[in-house]
């Protein structure tokens, strides 16, 4: 069952640069700004992103281009 996340949280899943794609049968999240989200990899699994309320990637947490989807819609 899918659960909607809180849009006011500052997390990887709420960054407007996060792009969801597929590799084979697995859904992955990549960064449209070219940041490496995993340890040495360009992506992280979507299931990992959806299961955590906080940034799943240190790259996102420290990113100066992080843009929260709600904050960007003013």
From the list 47, 52, 41, 53, the residue with the least C-alpha distance to 27 is 47
Residue-wise pLDDT for 6-47, tens only, equals 666 777 878 888 888 888 888 999 999 888 887 778 888 888
In the prediction, which pLDDT does 71 show?
A: 58
Residue 35 domain-assigned?
Answer: yes
Per-residue pLDDT, averaged over 51-64, amounts to: 78
Residue 68 domain-assigned?
Answer: yes
In the prediction, which pLDDT does 69 show?
A: 64
Residue 51 domain-assigned?
Answer: yes
Residue 29 domain-assigned?
Answer: yes
**What does 32-71 look like in DSSP terms, one character per residue?**
TT----BTTBSEEEHHHHHH-SS-S-HHHHT-TT--BTTG
Question: Per the structure, how many domains does the chain have?
Answer: 1
Range of the domain at 37: 12-73
Going from the C-alpha of 8 to that of each of 4, 34, 48, 58, 73, the distances in angstroms are: 12, 24, 19, 19, 12
In the prediction, which pLDDT does 1 show?
A: 42
Q: What is the pTM of this model?
A: 0.71
Residue 60 domain-assigned?
Answer: yes
């Amino acid at each position: 069952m899918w659960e909607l996340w809180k849009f006011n949280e500052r997390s990887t899943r709420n960054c407007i640069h996060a792009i969801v794609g597929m590799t084979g049968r697995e859904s992955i999240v990549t960064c449209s700004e070219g940041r490496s989200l995993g340890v040495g990899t360009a992506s992280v699994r979507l299931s990992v992103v959806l299961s955590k309320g906080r940034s799943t990637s240190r790259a996102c947490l420290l990113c100066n281009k992080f843009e929260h989807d709600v904050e960007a819609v003013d």
